[in-house]
Amino acid sequence: MSGIQNYSKTKKLGEGTYAVVYLGTQLSTSREVAIKEIKTEGFKDGLDMSAIREVKYLQELRHANIIELVDVFSDSRQNLNLVLEVLPSDLEKVLRDKNTFIGGVDIKRWLLMILRGVYHCHRNGILHRDLKPNNLLMDPSGNLKIADFGLARSLDQPTEKLTSNVVTRWYRAPELLFGARLYTAAVDVWAIGTIFAEMMLRTPYLPGSDDANQLAVTIQALGTPTEENWPGVSHLPLYNNLTVYPAPTRAELRRRFVAASEMALEAMEGMLIMNPSERWTCERALQSGYFLEEPIP
Ligand code: ADP
């Protein structure tokens, strides 16, 4: 861990929920970097050591589809600063820009890059917990890199106080909506499934307006889970008085996703299985026939 004296901050690039991001230079190498200064005021006891360890661990998780964490330092005000590679765009911006043509091969390539990056982290024992299009950064050649890995856990407590357009719940897995306290890798796969759907629709697939509505929107779109297909679900804290909706048939999914192939629909269904222990893993999704059929990325 080096110190602030090795960096200069040149200009502010943006401000997020938990951080201010600056364009900067690593003085020893003259390399241009993004410096993300994490706001600590929101945390009662500051960031805990485990968050810092996790961030340091992330520094070693090098992968083509994970943003490079170049360095970490603590500044004079004890704020945590993450030094990152500079990536000018993100999937949210690309999907919202109606002037950008997005073809089937782009969607497949991006899904492949997301799955490879997240699989690499899962294999190394790190969960993301907050995958969404604006955490998927893009370089000018359309290479997608996952950002904000590992920080989500220590930062997810204060999110409830923030407005819904800043911290989105649209990618939240049903087990979390039902109040399960346990985060598993399956939570990330669910988010990838909803992002895949969003890439095809170019609009969010399950846009709930608040936590209760998110659950309603999710079960309306994908069916209400039962003890039969998800043993134990009825004992989760927020499972009560649910309207029973049927799971969508393949014909219904074809109607919703007109351009999707059967293999694409199968992969999406696998990643959006309600029961987290039945849901596809990243490894399984990477073996999907969708990646073997034309167009090949
Ligand atoms: P949020 O995820 O809420 O957008 P962030 O704190 O991650 O907030 O980032 C705030 C802004 O800073 C982003 O919207 C983006 O414009 C910019 N930014 C973040 N990380 C980078 C990066 N690695 N390279 C270039 N710009 C970045």
Whether residue 230 has pLDDT greater than 90: yes
Q: Are residues 188 and 56 in the same domain?
A: no
pLDDT of residue 150: 59
Domain stop point among 85, 120, 150? 85
Closest ligand 1 atom to the C-alpha of 86? 24
- ipTM greater than cut 0.85: yes
Whether residue 180 has pLDDT greater than 70: yes
Q: Are the C-beta atoms of residues 79 and 96 closer than 8 Å to each other?
A: no
Q: Is residue 40 a part of any domain in this protein?
A: yes
Q: Is residue 230 a part of any domain in this protein?
A: yes
Domain stop point among 36, 57, 85? 85
Domain stop point among 43, 64, 85? 85
Q: Are residues 181 and 278 in the same domain?
A: yes
Whether residue 62 has pLDDT greater than 70: yes
Of residues 248 and 4, more confidently modeled = 248
Of residues 45 and 114, more confidently modeled = 114
pLDDT, tens only, 76-119: 777 889 999 999 999 999 999 999 999 999 999 999 999 999 99
pLDDT of residue 126: 86
Give, using CA atoms, the residue closest to atom 13 of ligand 1: 14
Q: Is residue 76 a part of any domain in this protein?
A: yes
Q: Are residues 238 and 157 in the same domain?
A: yes
pLDDT, tens only, 127-147: 888 899 999 999 988 899 999
Residue 174 CA to ligand 1 centre (angstroms)? 28
Residue range 157-182: mean pLDDT, rounded: 69
Of residues 286 and 18, more confidently modeled = 286
Residue 16 CA to ligand 1 centre (angstroms)? 7
Query: What's the structural domain count of the chain?
Result: 2
Q: Are the C-beta atoms of residues 294 and 286 closer than 8 Å to each other?
A: no
Q: How far apart are alpha carbons 141 and 119 in whole angstroms?
A: 22
The vertex-233 CA angle with 263 and 194, nearest 5°, equals 35
Q: Is residue 296 a part of any domain in this protein?
A: no
Confidence of residue 50 (pLDDT cuts 50, 70, 90): low
Q: Nearest CA to 272 among 196, 212, 201?
A: 196
Beta bridge partners of 90: 137
pLDDT of residue 128: 87
pLDDT of residue 42: 52
Q: Are residues 39 and 115 in the same domain?
A: no
Is any ligand 1 atom within 6 A of the Cβ of residue 86? yes
Q: For residue 49, what are the domain limits?
A: 4-85
Of residues 16 and 30, more confidently modeled = 30
Q: Is residue 297 a part of any domain in this protein?
A: no
**Tokens of residue 198, six digits:** 């969003």
Confidence of residue 250 (pLDDT cuts 50, 70, 90): very high
pLDDT of residue 41: 61
pLDDT of residue 161: 39
Q: How far apart are alpha carbons 8 and 22 in whole angstroms?
A: 9
* Residue 34 among known ligand-binding residues: no
Task: Note if the bond before 295 is cis, omega within 30 degrees.
Answer: yes
Residue to probe by mutation, ligand 1, list 9, 11, 12, 13, most atoms within 8 Å of CB: 13
Residue range 48-77: mean pLDDT, rounded: 82
* Residue 17 among known ligand-binding residues: yes
> Helix, strand, or coil here: 186?
helix
Residue range 222-245: mean pLDDT, rounded: 95
Q: Are residues 120 and 176 in the same domain?
A: yes
Q: How far apart are alpha carbons 107 and 95 in whole angstroms?
A: 10
Q: Are residues 228 and 168 in the same domain?
A: yes
Name the residues annotated as catalytic. 130
* Residue 19 among known ligand-binding residues: yes
What is the overall mean pLDDT for the chain? Answer: 89
Strand ranges, E, within 16-166: 19-26, 31-38, 69-74, 80-84, 89-90, 136-138, 144-146
Confidence of residue 159 (pLDDT cuts 50, 70, 90): very low
Is any ligand 1 atom within 6 A of the Cβ of residue 21? yes
Q: Nearest CA to 229 among 270, 273, 288?
A: 273
Q: Are residues 142 and 249 in the same domain?
A: yes
Q: How far apart are alpha carbons 120 and 64 in whole angstroms?
A: 10
Whether residue 170 has pLDDT greater than 50: yes
Q: What is the DSSP letter of 33?
A: E
Confidence of residue 160 (pLDDT cuts 50, 70, 90): very low
pLDDT of residue 284: 98
Q: Are residues 253 and 119 in the same domain?
A: yes
CATH number reported for the structural domain that contains residue 135 in this entry:
1.10.510.10
**Tokens of residue 73, six digits:** 């330092």
Q: Are residues 59 and 160 in the same domain?
A: no
pLDDT of residue 247: 97
Residue 166 CA to ligand 1 centre (angstroms)? 13
* Residue 125 among known ligand-binding residues: no
pLDDT of residue 55: 80
Q: Is residue 169 a part of any domain in this protein?
A: yes
CATH number reported for the structural domain that contains residue 48 in this entry:
3.30.200.20
pLDDT of residue 22: 96
Q: Are residues 282 and 222 in the same domain?
A: yes
Q: Are residues 131 and 19 in the same domain?
A: no
Is any ligand 1 atom within 6 A of the Cβ of residue 13? yes
Closest ligand 1 atom to the C-alpha of 20? 6
Is any ligand 1 atom within 6 A of the Cβ of residue 159? no
Q: Are residues 128 and 275 in the same domain?
A: yes
pLDDT of residue 16: 79
